Amino acid sequence: MPLMEQIYAYLTSHNAVNGSTGWPCYIGYMPDDQDQTVALYETGGFPADTLLRENQRVTFQMRVRGSRRDYANVRQKWQDIFNLLQDADQNVSSILLNVIFIQAMHYGPLVFSDDKSRVNMTVNYRVMRTPSNVARGKDV
């Protein structure tokens, strides 16, 4: 399963997004007609960490958006998701297959307003994962 789909499923399974939360989550885009929403974006990554390239070092961004006067709610949702993802790995969730770790690249939200003056907060993560046929150094 692609990493963004794993992250999406992980957040949904922990009731951080979708369902009755009022925070729909999207992969790769954020619809302009909704104020309160979460999005996940792939952002590339870094070269593999060994000559055999068995570890993939990928990155992604999580973005939370709310209405223009909704800073407190957006900040709380950002923090809730941050806490779920920070240091998550396949040992804490069977959904995060082949994920060795997820770590934030900074510990506070990057805050900005979009063209409709809505509050946006982002965080960028780096992920170490093994290819699907290798799990923690053992052939599967």
| Predicted local confidence at residue 132, as pLDDT | 62
Q: For the whole model, what pTM was predicted?
A: 0.85
Closest to 63 in 3D by CA, of 91, 93, 25, 89: 25
Q: Report pLDDT for 139.
A: 39
Q: With helix as H, strand as E and coil as C, how does 73-133 read?
A: HHHHHHHHHHHHHCCCCCCCCCCCCCEEEEEECCCCCEEEECCCCCEEEEEEEEEEECCCC
pLDDT of residue 97: 78
77 or 134: which leads in pLDDT:
77
Write the DSSP symbol of residue 62: E
Nearest to 34 by CA among 120, 110, 112, 111: 120
The architecture in CATH of the region 3-139 reads: 2-Layer Sandwich (3.30)
For 102-120, the pLDDT digits (tens) are 889 988 899 999 999 999 9
For residue 41, which phi and psi values (nearest 5 degrees)? -130, 130
pLDDT score for 125? 94
Single-letter residue type at 26: Y
Closest by CA position to 65, among listed 24, 28, 27? 24
CA trace torsion 103, 15, 120, 3 (10° rounding): 40
- Tens digit of pLDDT for each residue in 38-93? 999 999 877 666 655 666 778 899 999 999 999 999 999 999 999 999 987 777 77
